[in-house]
């Protein structure tokens, strides 16, 4: 009876493992761009102004215009960044073009940002 329970439990664990995709994480515990793209189904484009940068938390605050692809009006909000090095490319006050995704857990993550 114990052997049957062990076999059943092992089969369930293996079956569950087949549905959970491994997520790649780099040395800084940042999700890889590929893993983030797999977690979303669309990339969105925005234009805005940098109002704050929090390098430690890997976040950037932008005052952006409307983003039709996601149905947003213009607003000021924080975005996460997938690569902390992106924050080195911009400064508070810069006008920027940016690309972001919405992850399955409803986080908005910038995948690319460039000062105009």
Tell me, yes or no, whether 33 lies in a domain: yes
Tell me, yes or no, whether 102 lies in a domain: yes
Quick one: tokens of 82?
A: 């997938």
Q: How many domains does the chain have?
A: 1
Q: Which residue has the higher pLDDT, 70 or 30?
A: 70
Domain, as residue range, for 88: 24-115
Tell me, yes or no, whether 2 lies in a domain: no
Residue 18's Cβ-count burial label (10 Å; 0-12, 13-18, 19+) is exposed
Q: In this predicted structure, what is the pLDDT of residue 39?
A: 52
Tell me, yes or no, whether 16 lies in a domain: no
pTM: 0.66
- pLDDT (tens digit, 9 = 90+) per residue, 51-100? 999 999 999 999 999 999 999 999 999 999 989 999 999 999 999 999 99
The alpha carbon of 84 is separated from its chain's Cα centroid by a whole number of angstroms, namely: 12
Tell me, yes or no, whether 65 lies in a domain: yes
Cα 32 to Cα 26, 41, 62, 85, 109, distances in angstroms: 7, 16, 23, 13, 12
Tell me, yes or no, whether 41 lies in a domain: yes
Q: What mean pLDDT is reported for the chain?
A: 79
- pLDDT (tens digit, 9 = 90+) per residue, 15-25? 444 444 444 44
Tell me, yes or no, whether 14 lies in a domain: no
Return the CATH number at 42. Answer: 2.40.50.320
Tell me, yes or no, whether 103 lies in a domain: yes
């Amino acid at each position: 009876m114990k052997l049957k329970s062990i076999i059943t439990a092992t089969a369930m664990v293996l079956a569950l493992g087949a549905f959970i995709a491994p997520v790649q994480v780099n040395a800084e515990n940042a999700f890889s761009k590929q893993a983030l793209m797999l977690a979303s189904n669309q990339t969105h484009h925005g234009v805005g102004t940098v109002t704050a940068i929090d390098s430690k938390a890997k976040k950037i605050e932008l005052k952006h215009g409307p983003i039709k692809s996601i149905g947003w009006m213009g607003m000021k909000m924080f975005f996460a960044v997938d690569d902390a090095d992106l924050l080195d490319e911009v400064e508070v006050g810069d006008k920027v073009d940016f690309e972001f995704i919405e992850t399955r857990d409803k986080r908005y993550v910038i995948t690319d940002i460039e000062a105009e």
